[in-house]
A and B are shown apart, each in its own frame.
Chain A
Amino acid sequence: PHAGPVETKNEAAMSELVPEPRQKPVVPMKPTGINASLLGYIGIDTIIEQMRKKTMKTGFDFNIMVVGQSGLGKSTLVNTLFKSQVSRKSSGWNREEKIPKTVEIKAIGHVIEEGGVKMKLTVIDTPGFGDQINNENCWEPIEKYINEQYEKFLKEEVNIARKKRIPDTRVHCCLYFISPTGHSLRPLDLEFMKHLSKVVNIIPVIAKADTMTLEEKTEFKQRVRKELEVNGIEFYPQKEFDEDLEDKTENDKIRQESMPFAVVGSDKEYQVNGKRVLGRKTPWGIIEVENLNHCEFALLRDFVIRTHLQDLKEVTHNIHYETYRAKRLNDNGGLPPMTVETEENHESNL
C-alpha cells in the first residue's frame, strides 16, 4: 500500500484529472434549496458564504499597541479610530497623573460590535516610553511584553489538551507615533523601530499633523521614508510578505506614497456645513479629522481597519509568531515540544 496520498498517478494522468472548464449555468444563481437542479453547478462557492457567516458569529480579537512620547495624542487617536472610548485615558485616568518613571504596559480590553460583527479590542498603551532623561533601552519592556504574548500562545499550543480557540493576546499592530518636528526622525525612533520591526507589525504615524502645512508635511514624509529605508527598517506592510502581484501593487502604493500617515485625532464633534464631524476647533478654522484634505486619518483608519485588519493578524500569526516559535524550538535543541502531564500542572520541556 502507498505510504501516503499519491498526488498524481503519473504526471500525464494529473493533467487529465484536472477537468475542463465547465460551462457556467445560464442563469447564475445559488441553489436555493435541495430541489434546485442546475446541471453542472456544484456549489463550491457557497463555502465562502459559510465561512463569512462563521466569522461573523465567532467574532474576533484584535490587539493594538500604541507607542510614543506622552502628549502626542496616542489615546485620542485610538479613541477616534474606534469611535469609542477605548483607550486607557478613558478608563479612570487622572489628568494629574505623573509620567511614570519606567515604561509601563497597560492593556485595556473592550468588546465592540458593528454590523453583527463582534470585536474584542485590546488597546495596549505604553506610558513612560521616551519620556525619561535617559531613554536607553526603553523599548525593552515593550519587546518583553510582545514576546510574553507569543510565549503564552506557544504554551497553550503545545498543551496536550489544548483549547479549541487559543485566546490571542499577541500584538497584531503597533502604531508608532513620530513627533511632527518637521526635521527628521529622532535617534530613539530609529532604535525602537529597528528592534521592534523584527517582532511585530509597526505602522509609523506622524502625530499632531495639524502643526504642519501641506508642503511641510510632504517634505517631512519623504524624509522619514528615506530615513526608514536607509536604516533598513521594514514597517508594515513588509515588502517580503506581499502574497501576490495584486497585493504588491496595492501595498507599494501605500508604502511609497501614503505612509507614514500624517494624522490628527479628536473625539469632539462640531457642526461643519450642516454635518456633525469629528474635529479640532481653532480660531483660524476647524480641522476635520475625517477630511482627506485636512489630514490622513481616514487613510490610516481604512488601512488598519477596513482593508488590512485580517492581514495584520495573519502576518502576526504566520510570520512573527512563527519566527518566535522557531527560535524557541532551536533553543530547545531542535526537539519538537512535548508536554509531560503531571497531576495538576502541565510541565512542558520548553
Chain B
Amino acid sequence: QQPAQFTNPETPGYVGFANLPNQVHRKSVKKGFEFTLMVVGESGLGKSTLINSLFLTDLYPERIIPGAADKIERTVQIEASTVEIEERGVKLRLTVVDTPGYGDAINCRDCFKTIISYIDEQFERYLHDESGLNRRHIVDNRVHCCFYFISPFGHGLKPLDVEFMKAIHNKVNIVPVIAKADTLSLKERERLKKRILDEIEEHGIKIYHLPDAESDEDEDFKEQTRLLKASIPFCVVGSNQLIEAKGKKVRGRLYPWGVVEVENPEHNDFLKLRTMLITHMQDLQEVTQDLHYENFRSERLKRGSRLKIEDEEVNKDQILLEKEAEVR
C-alpha cells in the first residue's frame, strides 16, 4: 500500500477521495437535522424561558399559566412543539417535548410514568419502522436529550429528582441543569454544584458524559471541552427580554441592584449550555442510537413478543402458529 498523503489536486498521485467529507457535507446540508429535546422540571423553574433563549425563538406564543387550584387535578402532560430553524443554509428541525404537570401534584408518585411511557413509545415506534418493509422515510422522534431542571432553592437533589433520574438514565441522555441561577451567589453555586455531583455519584445516576476531546484537536477545543466538563451541572439564567446595559442591548433580567446578562459567562453558564448542546448534538444522537435505543431493542427482542403491528398485514393463522410456538 502506498499511503498517499497528497492534498493538492495538482500533485500527481492525488486521487480525490479526500473530497468525501465534502460530499457528505453537501448531503447533510440538504437533508438537515432532526433533534428532540425533552425538558423536565417543576413548574416555574424557567424551563420555557430557557428554551426560548437557547433557540432565539418563542415556542410558546399562546401560553396560559394555570393557577394552583387548576394544578391539583392535573396529571403530567406531554406536549411536543416542533420548530424549524435555519442558519447559513443548515436546517434544524427541533422538537421540544415539554412535560407540564411534573412535580406539581401533592403526591408525585406517578409523576414519571407518563414520561417514561412517552420515551419508550418513541423507541417502540422507531423499532417498528426500522423493521418494516418501507424504510425510506423513517422519522426519528426518539428523545435525544433530556434537560432536567433542578431547583436552586434546595440543598441539592430532592427525592423526586433522584427517583426520576434513576428511572430514565438508561433510556435517555440526562443533562442536569440548575435553574434560575441568579438566586445564588457564585459561592453558593459552587457549593450546590458539588453537592449535586456528589449525590449523583452516591445514587449511581448516569448522566450524559461529554466525550473527551480527541488528541488531534486543537488546543482551544480541548480547553473548551475541559471547561465544559468542569462546569456540569450548568447554572443557567434564561431571558428573552432585551435590557440596556453598558451601552449595549443584552438579553437579561433587570434588578434594582444590576442586570443579570444571560450571555455573560461571568454571570451564568448559559453560553456553556448552548455550546455544549450544539457541539455535542451529533454525539447526543449517536449515544441515543447506539446505547439507549440498542438497549431498548435488545430487551424488546429478547422478550420475544411480537412487535406491535397495527395493520392487518399479519393474518390470523400466523398469529395462531406463533402463539402455539410460544406455548411450546
Whether A117 contacts B82 in the complex (CB less than 8 A), given A48-B90, A333-B318, comes out as no
Q: Is A70 an interface residue (CB 8 A)?
A: no
Contacting residues, chain B, for A227 (C-beta < 8 A): none
Whole-angstrom distance between the alpha carbons of A40 and B249 in the complex? Answer: 12
Taking residues whose C-beta sits less than 8 angstroms from the other chain, chain B's interface range is 35 or more
Indicate if the CB atoms of A47 and B282 lie closer than 8 Å: yes
Q: Interface centre among A4, A24, A318, by most B CB within 10 Å?
A: A4
Indicate if the CB atoms of A81 and B56 lie closer than 8 Å: no
Q: Which of B173-181, B193-201, B271-279 has 4 or more CB atoms under 8 Å from chain A?
A: B271-279
Whether A162 contacts B294 in the complex (CB less than 8 A), given A44-B90, A276-B12, A322-B136, comes out as yes
Q: Which of B40-48, B114-122, B158-166, B183-191 has 4 or more CB atoms under 8 Å from chain A?
A: B114-122
Smallest CB separation, A255 vs chain B (Å): 19
Indicate if the CB atoms of A44 and B122 lie closer than 8 Å: no
Contacting residues, chain B, for A16 (C-beta < 8 A): 61
Indicate if the CB atoms of A17 and B136 lie closer than 8 Å: no
Indicate if the CB atoms of A50 and B20 lie closer than 8 Å: no
Whole-angstrom distance between the alpha carbons of A314 and B184 in the complex? Answer: 52
Contacting B18 at CB < 8 Å: which of A1, A40, A50, A116? A116
Taking residues whose C-beta sits less than 8 angstroms from the other chain, chain A's interface range is 35 or more
Contacting B279 at CB < 8 Å: which of A32, A46, A110? A46
Whole-angstrom distance between the alpha carbons of A35 and B298 in the complex? Answer: 43
Indicate if the CB atoms of B15 and A114 lie closer than 8 Å: yes
Indicate if the CB atoms of B118 and A45 lie closer than 8 Å: no
Whether A305 contacts B136 in the complex (CB less than 8 A), given A1-B77, A34-B265, comes out as no
Whether A44 contacts B85 in the complex (CB less than 8 A), given A55-B21, A114-B15, A276-B12, comes out as yes
Contacting A34 at CB < 8 Å: which of B55, B56, B251, B271? B271
Contacting residues, chain A, for B263 (C-beta < 8 A): 37, 39
Other A-B contacts than A112-B17, A116-B18, A334-B313, 9 sampled, CB-CB below 8 A, are: A17-B81, A19-B85, A34-B224, A82-B15, A276-B12, A301-B16, A310-B23, A326-B133, A337-B131
A residues at B contact (CB < 8 Å) = 1-9, 13-14, 16-19, 21-22, 24, 28, 31-35, 37, 39-48, 50-52, 54-57, 60, 62, 81-85, 110-117, 119, 160-162, 164, 243-244, 269, 275-278, 301-302, 305-311, 314, 318, 322, 325-326, 329-330, 333-341
